[in-house]
Chain A
Amino acid sequence: MSSSCCAPPTFQEPASQAEGKLHTIVLIGPPNSGKSTLFNRLTGLRQKVANYPGVTVEQRMGLMAGVGRDDLTLIDLPGVYSLTPYSEDARVAVDVLKGKMVGTPKPDAVLLVLDSLHLTRQLMLAAPVLALGLPTLVLLNMTDLMEARGGEIDPLKLARELGAPVAQVSAVRGTGLEAVGLFLNQHSNGAATQQLTLPVVGNAASTHSWATQVSRRTGYRAPLSAENSRRLDNVLLHRVWGPLLFLLVVVAVFEVVFSIGQPLSDGFGEVLARAGALVRPLLPEGWLQSLVLDGAWKGISSVLVFLPQILLLFLFIGILEDSGYLARAALIADRVMRTTGLNGKAFIPLLSAYACAVPAIMATRTIENRRDRLATILVTPFMTCSARLPVYILLIAAFIPNITYLHGFLGLRTLVMLGLYVAGFVAAMTTAFLLKSSILRSSDTPFILELPQYRMPTVRALLMRLVDRARVFLRQAGTVILAVTLVLWVLAHLPVIHTQAGSWGIPDLANSLVGRLGHLIEPVIAPLGFNWKIGIGLISSVLAREVMVSTMGTLYGADPGTQALNLQTALHSDMTLGGALALMIFFAFAMQCTSTMAVVRRETNSWKWPAFQFAYMLVLAYGAAFVVNRLVTAIFG
C-alpha cells in the first residue's frame, strides 16, 4: 500500500481539447518536504545547475531519466511556503510557474511535493499552485514514515477534493514513482485535465482555513509527533550536554578532515604528478609539453589536490544536514553568532572555511536571508584555510626560533601559528559586524529556524550530493583556474630565451614577464619588507595560496647565490623578520584564491561582490602587513 496512485474520475476521461506535447515539468514544494531527494530520484545524475539571471537563486534542471522519460526536462524550483513573493526564492518560483522567467520555458505540468506528515500546513501551498490551472500531480512524500507512525491519509478523497491526481510516494525509498510516469504519459497523449473547481487564492488565514477544511473532509490524521526527535533533542539540546556534544561533533569533523583528508590530498597530489609524468613522453618536447604539463596540468593539480578534503567536508555537512542536526547546531550557535550580526546558520559554513572556503561558501545556501548569506560569504575567506598552512609552516620554520615556554608545553612557533588563526577569525568577525551594521543591515528580517525531525541520512542521497558539489567545484573553479594557469604560464615563459635544451621545463622567472612584473611592483611592496621575488610569489599565488611555496622554490633554486641553500635558509638570508611576519599577515588577510573568487561569483551571480571582496581584503592585508613590518622592524631592529 505504500504506492498507490489515485486520480479523480474526471482525470481519467480524455478531454476534448488536445494540448500540445509535454516538454517542461516543474517540481515545487515547501522546504523540508524531500523535494531535492525526489528531484534526484526523477532525474538521476543528468542534471544541470546554473543561476537564474540576475538573482542568486540556483536553477536546477535535469532530464527525467529516473522515470524513463528523458525527453522531458524537469526544473527544480526553490523550496517555498507560499507563492506570496516574500523572498527572492518565492519570486523566482512564481516567475517560472507563470512562464515569465527569461530563458526558462513555460512549464507544461507541475509536480507538487507535499510532506504527508504535516499535510494540513503543506496544503497551504497547494491552493495557489493548483489555482494556476496547470496540469498538476500532487505527490504526498514521506509515505514510509507516515505508515510507521500511524498517520492516516485518503489519497482518493484528497484527489477529489483538490481536483488533481494524488500519489503517495517515498523519495527516500523510491516507491510510488511509477505514478509520475503514468501522469506524464497520460498528458503526453493529450489527455489534459479539466479542473472544474480551482481553489480560491486568498491570504494566509483564508488559505489555512481552506487547508484545514480539506484535510478534515478527507479524513486526514496526522501521525504521532515524533517523540523520538523530541527525546533526542532532550539530550542534543540539553543545557550542558548539548554544547558539549556540539563541540565534540565539531572536533570530530575537523579531526577527520585533517587526519584523513590531508594524507588523501597528499596521495591524490602524488597520483596527479605521476599521471603528468606518464604523459610527458607522449608529448613532443618543447613549448607544447611545457604548456600542457608545467602550465595547465601543474596549475590544475595544485587546486585539484584540495578535492579530497573538500569532498570529505561536504560529506560531513551532508550528514549533518540530512540527519537534521544542522538546524540544532544553528540553534546552539545562534547566541554567539548574533554578536557579530550574523545568525546561527552561518556557523557551520564559517567552521568549514577552516578547511577550505569553497565548500564553506557553497554551504551558505542554508541561510535564507540574502543579506545574511552575502555577509557570511564575504567574511568566509578570512578563516584560515588549509592552503595557507604550507606558507605559514615555511615562513615560521624559517624565521621563528624554536623557543618553548612553560617547560616545553607552549612553543613560540605554535603561538605564532595560533596568532595567525586568531587574526583571521577576528578579521572575519569584525568585517561581519561592519557589514551587518552598514550596507547589509537587515533588522526587519528575523531569524526563523525550522527544526526538522531527525532522519537517518541515506547513502544514495549523500553520494548524489557529493557528485553534484564536486561537479560544481570542478566546472566553476576549473574553467577560471585553467585560464589563470595559462596566463601565468605565458607570463613566466615570455620573452623566449633559448639558453639550453629543456629551458622550457624551468622557466627563467627572473627575466620573464612575471619577473618584470615582480620588479615593477617592488616599489609598492617594499614598504611591507618584500623584495621582487616575493612580488613574483604574490602574483603567482592568486591561483592558490600554496603555489607561493613552489614559486619561491623555483626562484631561489634558479638563483646562483641561493642555489645551494634550502628554501628556508635562502629565505632567511633574503628577508628581514619584519618582512616575514608582514608576509604571514598578508597571507592571513589577502584574497589570493581564484577558486574562491569563482565560487563567490557563482553564488552571488555577479562580479561585483568578488571584486569588492578582493579589493577590501587586499587593502586590509596591505595595511596590516605595513603596520606589522614597521612595528617588528622598530622593536627587533
Chain B
Amino acid sequence: MNFARICNSDRNGRILKSDYSGRSLRVLPFRRARGVRKVRVLSELNVGESGILVALDLPESVQNHLMHMGFLPDALVTTVRRAPAGDPTVYAIDGMEIALRHETAEAIRVRDADPKIQEMEEFAEAAR
C-alpha cells in the first residue's frame, strides 16, 4: 500500500479519509514490514520524538483552524513536554509551541520522522 496517497488532499484541501479505491483508512494497518511507513497518532509519540503529520481526523472547522496554526500535512511535529498533570501535551510545530489535549492529538495521524534512518536501523538490526 502506498501511504503517500493518504497525504493527497482533495480540491478543497481537505485530507481524504479514504484511498483511491474508496476504502476507509480511518483504521490504518499498523504493519511494521520494511518499506511500509508506520502510521501512528500524535498522542502516541513520546516526549522528544518527532513525526511527520499525515492527516487530521477532526471536524472541518477545527481542522482548518489547526492547519492555520501550522498543523499541515508533511509538517514536522515534535513532542516537547507533557503538562505536569500528564495532559495536555506541548508540541513544537513550525517554530511554535502548541498544547493539545490527548483527545485532539489522538485524531492527528503522523508517520515516522525519518524513514531513511529508521530503515537503516532496521537494516543494521537485520544484519546483526
Contacts and interface: CB of A to CB of B under 8 A. Distances in A.
Interface of A: 81-82, 84, 86-87, 117-118, 120-121, 124-125, 202-206, 208, 222, 225, 229-230, 233-234, 237-240, 242-243, 327, 331-332, 334-336, 338, 344, 444-451
A121 B96 contact: yes
Contact of A82 (B64, B73, B88): B64
Nearest to A119: B95
A86 B99 contact: no
Nearest to A117: B95
Contacts of A327: 99
Interface string B93-109: 01111111101100000
Contacts of B61: 86, 444
Contact of A444 (B59, B88, B94, B96): B59
B67 interface: yes
Greatest chain B CB density within 10 A among A84, A202, A446 is at A446
A151 to B, nearest CB: 10
A446 B69 contact: no
A126 to B, nearest CB: 12
Nearest to B92: A225
B10 to A, nearest CB: 9
A194 to B, nearest CB: 29
A206 B65 contact: no
A168 to B, nearest CB: 19
Contacts of A225: 92, 95
Interface string B63-94: 01111111011000000110111111010101
B2 interface: no
A450 B83 contact: no
B13 A202 contact: yes
B94 A121 contact: yes
Contacts of B25: none
Given A84-B64, A238-B84, 9 more contacts: A82-B64, A86-B65, A121-B96, A204-B72, A205-B13, A229-B97, A446-B100, A448-B99, A448-B100
B89 to A, nearest CB: 10
A332 B13 CA distance: 34
A331 B64 contact: no
B13 A451 contact: no
Contacts of B81: 233-234, 237
Greatest chain B CB density within 10 A among A233, A242, A243, A335 is at A335
19 contacts: A82-B64, A84-B68, A118-B96, A121-B94, A121-B96, A202-B13, A204-B64, A205-B9, A205-B72, A230-B80, A239-B84, A242-B84, A334-B99, A336-B85, A344-B88, A444-B62, A446-B103, A447-B100, A448-B99
A534 B69 CA distance: 56
Contact of A222 (B13, B95, B103): B95
Nearest to B85: A335
A336 B88 CA distance: 11
B72 A237 contact: no
Contacts of A336: 85
Nearest to B107: A446
Given A121-B96, A447-B88, A81 B12 contact: no
A237 B83 contact: yes
Nearest to A32: B96
Nearest to B15: A205
Contacts of A334: 83, 85, 87-88, 99, 101
Contacts of B13: 202-206
B58 interface: yes
Contacts of B83: 237, 242, 331-332, 334-335
Interface string B1-28: 0000000010011100000000000000
A327 B59 CA distance: 25
B97 A451 contact: yes
B87 A447 contact: no
A271 B19 CA distance: 75
A124 B65 CA distance: 12
A334 B100 CA distance: 11
Nearest to B60: A86
A125 B104 CA distance: 24
B84 A237 contact: yes
A81 B69 contact: yes
Contacts of A451: 90, 96-99
A446 B69 CA distance: 14
A338 B95 CA distance: 28
By Cβ-Cβ distance, the 10 closest A-B pairs, closest first, are A203-B13, A335-B85, A204-B67, A81-B68, A446-B104, A451-B97, A449-B99, A242-B84, A82-B68, A205-B13
B3 to A, nearest CB: 18
Contacts of A331: 83, 88, 90, 99
A125 B72 CA distance: 15
B98 A124 contact: no
Contacts of A242: 83-84
B78 to A, nearest CB: 11
Given A239-B84, A242-B84, A448-B100, A205 B58 contact: no
B65 A81 contact: yes
Contacts of B80: 230
Nearest to B97: A451
Contacts of B87: 334-335
Nearest to B83: A331
B94 A120 contact: yes
Nearest to B99: A449
B73 A205 contact: yes
Interface string B42-67: 00000000000000001101101111
Nearest to B13: A203
A185 to B, nearest CB: 34
B101 A446 contact: yes
B85 A332 contact: yes
A205 B85 CA distance: 34
Greatest chain B CB density within 10 A among A120, A125, A331, A336 is at A331
Contacts of A444: 59, 61-62
B72 A208 contact: yes
